[in-house]
Chain A
């Protein structure tokens, strides 16, 4: 027993000594659960940034960066907090890319990240409630708050001539927050919200929910749900009963699974996904696309940017200690400084090492505002010929 403890202590020491060379970053996403088809590509996106930095050999005098994945499950706050706890205490990560869903992100932030003084950059938690979360300046997100998405979706609906709409949302922080922001923005723009109902994920049958929504009526059904969970079930029931044939789909509903399930049955449906014209995700998408990773979903660029921001901030602070580099994240993300695009991380690291300033643009034209969240460009999409196509950028 004594020997074992000595050995453990020795390894721990060795690991401690090696960490100057090898920086671990946590990637906490829902690899199982309601958005499991989206997360492999998101994680691959952030790991691609880590690989780019490691290969350059310019971070903190040649440090390499490796990722440690943790499963947030997207919905189970206890499981997500345990995963984060493990990454911080036993894996010794220096920063966390994640989590993905708003509910678990809030839980990890309050239970694990803030008490441990850990930096978290979420690529996809969009709940407006997180803007006001107590974070000690440790929490950032490369995606905009849903308060903004609600506004954009309402604008799209009014422009397309949908004057009344029914809303159904997945019954959690993300769904509720988004539905509220859509409803208030839509009403302010002159639209009529006929009904707002929650739907529970994981049911076999949504005909009762859809029957109520149909009774309320409306030109279009807004489905603020998840593409791997109840969302498609609601759409399927609405199509089958002829209750609605066009749908408005926020970010969680946009993914390859949607095209696969419905094709041209939902022709003319509209949606919004974070993204901007100046965004450059093509390179990342090409790099990570493979048979095992489906890179048609959202938030891949945001994930890349989240990891990139952490590493650039480390370089700016000259330290991989979360407490030291947290304050630098806003500096590297925003002007002034040299603009750094996707694939130019090495250049950014060089400038920072020489004491210069950078304005990280990255894959999604990152611009952090307020308490450290993206200002938010959106891509308006429309289902045309059974495919998700881009109508324009907002």
Chain B
């Protein structure tokens, strides 16, 4: 029994908790991608760098607040800076929309052209972020580091294995749940949300019934900016802020959105957790957990690791390809790519 608990704790510490936090970050990112795809009808490759921009503003405002001596006690100051960053990111994406995307929308450009355009936007945002804050790691987390630390847990339970829950992991999950709840309330209950869904389902019909398309586009961008900033900040808080990393995140985020079904918000959330759990469990060395769970005669000698951790991103790639081959609309019936 104790062995079983020890195994469970080890599993939670190294697999479940990190995967849930990572999955929440991916889900928030994938929601943004899926909304753009559903309503504006193109894959937005600039999403990763929108996240980087949002997180960067958070970092800068956090530094300023820390300099002024403001803090949130046990919580990271970054949470205070978040609203400012969301507004700044909204301004940036609305500006981009006005300057770039609007032109192509009026031309009724094909989605594939918009994808290429978004790649151009991606490189510009990429450069902008690096120009402002540089390419290096930036630390901006403060406050209490742990909700439960390994040492406390071991003392509390007397188990051999320890369990750590970082404050940032707790915040990530809570914020993600709140964001998702708000988003679904907005899409299903408010007038603007309903008009957004109508526009997504059938553009012409929506126009005929008097929905203002520019308003829908504007609200979509604002929501996406908020989601991107929150996802970027949470990722930066939990891991560390480095502009290049957000560019790399694009792959698992797109994989999440596509696995769940592009254009389907529920699918984006499910996809986020599926990708996170596959990445973590496939590259985890199961020896430690199995040693507790299996009878002594079956104990493994090797590490029981399916893939080396170097191949983490390959996992999302494989899932992406498998889904596109066999179920192009994704699990939750989104639009086919």
Interface check A3, CB cutoff 8 A: no
Interface check A2, CB cutoff 8 A: no
Q: Which residues of A contact B235 (CB under 8 A)?
A: 204
Q: Which residues of B contact A274 (CB under 8 A)?
A: none
Interface check B308, CB cutoff 8 A: yes
In contact, A242 and B150 (Cβ under 8 angstroms): yes
Interface check B102, CB cutoff 8 A: no
Would you give the 0/1 interface string for B280-296, flagging 1 where the beta carbon is closer than 8 Å to chain A? Answer: 10011111110000000
Would you give the 0/1 interface string for B137-168, flagging 1 where the beta carbon is closer than 8 Å to chain A? Answer: 10000000110011100100000001110100
In contact, B309 and A241 (Cβ under 8 angstroms): no
A355 vs B235: C-alpha distance in the bound complex, in angstroms?
66
In contact, B285 and A216 (Cβ under 8 angstroms): yes
Q: Which residues of B contact A216 (CB under 8 A)?
A: 285, 287, 303
- Which secondary structure dominates where chain A touches chain B? mixed
- Among the 9-residue stretches B11-19, B70-78, B187-195, the one with 4 or more Cβ atoms under 8 Å from chain A is B11-19
Q: A241-B14, A242-B163 are in contact. List 9 more A-B contacts (CB 8 A).
A: A204-B241, A211-B280, A211-B285, A212-B284, A212-B305, A215-B284, A215-B285, A216-B303, A240-B145
In contact, A240 and B166 (Cβ under 8 angstroms): yes
Chain B residue nearest to A198 (CB atoms) is B310
In contact, B310 and A211 (Cβ under 8 angstroms): no
Instruction: Give the most central of A197, A211, A217, A233: most B CB within 10 Å.
Output: A211
Q: Which residues of A contact B162 (CB under 8 A)?
A: 241-242
Chain A residue nearest to B304 (CB atoms) is A215
In contact, A204 and B242 (Cβ under 8 angstroms): yes
Interface check B245, CB cutoff 8 A: yes
Q: Which residues of B contact A200 (CB under 8 A)?
A: 310
A309 vs B303: C-alpha distance in the bound complex, in angstroms?
49
Q: Which residues of A contact B283 (CB under 8 A)?
A: 208, 212
Interface check B239, CB cutoff 8 A: yes
Instruction: Give the most central of A208, A209, A211: most B CB within 10 Å.
Output: A208
Interface check A205, CB cutoff 8 A: yes
Chain B residue nearest to A195 (CB atoms) is B303
Shortest Cβ distance from residue B296 to the other chain A in the assembled complex, whole angstroms? 16
The listed residue (B149, B241, B245, B289) touching A203 by CB distance below 8 A is B245
In contact, B284 and A208 (Cβ under 8 angstroms): yes
Q: Which residues of B contact A212 (CB under 8 A)?
A: 283-285, 303, 305, 309
A212 vs B310: C-alpha distance in the bound complex, in angstroms?
11
Interface check A207, CB cutoff 8 A: yes
Interface check B197, CB cutoff 8 A: no
Q: Which residues of A contact B151 (CB under 8 A)?
A: 242
Would you give the 0/1 interface string for A215-233, flagging 1 where the beta carbon is closer than 8 Å to chain B? Answer: 1110000000000000001
Interface check A20, CB cutoff 8 A: no
Would you give the 0/1 interface string for B210-244, flagging 1 where the beta carbon is closer than 8 Å to chain A? Answer: 00000000000000000000000001101111101
Residues of A169-222 at the interface with B, using a CB-CB cut-off of 8 Å, are 195, 197-198, 200, 202-205, 207-209, 211-212, 214-217
In contact, B13 and A241 (Cβ under 8 angstroms): yes
Q: Which residues of A contact B239 (CB under 8 A)?
A: 204-205
Residues of B282-324 at the interface with A, using a CB-CB cut-off of 8 Å, are 283-289, 303, 305, 308-310, 312
Query: What is the number of contacts between chain A and chain B, taking CB atoms within 8 Å?
Result: 76
Q: Which residues of A contact B146 (CB under 8 A)?
A: 240
The listed residue (B18, B164, B310) touching A242 by CB distance below 8 A is B164
Chain A residue nearest to B137 (CB atoms) is A204
Q: Which residues of B contact A241 (CB under 8 A)?
A: 13-14, 150, 162, 164
Would you give the 0/1 interface string for A239-254, flagging 1 where the beta carbon is closer than 8 Å to chain B? Answer: 0111100000000000
Instruction: Give the most central of A200, A207, A216: most B CB within 10 Å.
Output: A207
Residues of B162-183 at the interface with A, using a CB-CB cut-off of 8 Å, are 162-164, 166
Shortest Cβ distance from residue B236 to the other chain A in the assembled complex, whole angstroms? 8
A45 vs B306: C-alpha distance in the bound complex, in angstroms?
48
In contact, B245 and A215 (Cβ under 8 angstroms): no
Chain A residue nearest to B169 (CB atoms) is A240
Q: Which residues of B contact A198 (CB under 8 A)?
A: 310
A202 vs B308: C-alpha distance in the bound complex, in angstroms?
18
A205 vs B169: C-alpha distance in the bound complex, in angstroms?
13
Q: Which residues of B contact A205 (CB under 8 A)?
A: 238-240
In contact, A217 and B288 (Cβ under 8 angstroms): yes
Instruction: Give the most central of B18, B154, B164, B312: most A CB within 10 Å.
Output: B18
In contact, A215 and B286 (Cβ under 8 angstroms): yes
Q: Which residues of B contact A215 (CB under 8 A)?
A: 14, 284-289, 303, 305
Chain B residue nearest to A194 (CB atoms) is B303
Q: Which residues of B contact A211 (CB under 8 A)?
A: 14-15, 18, 280, 284-285
In contact, B13 and A242 (Cβ under 8 angstroms): yes
In contact, A208 and B312 (Cβ under 8 angstroms): yes
Shortest Cβ distance from residue B272 to the other chain A in the assembled complex, whole angstroms? 16
Q: Which residues of B contact A242 (CB under 8 A)?
A: 13, 149-151, 154, 162-164
Shortest Cβ distance from residue A4 to the other chain B in the assembled complex, whole angstroms? 35
Chain A residue nearest to B21 (CB atoms) is A207
Shortest Cβ distance from residue B106 to the other chain A in the assembled complex, whole angstroms? 39
The listed residue (A204, A217, A240) touching B240 by CB distance below 8 A is A204
Residues of B241-281 at the interface with A, using a CB-CB cut-off of 8 Å, are 241-242, 244-245, 279-280
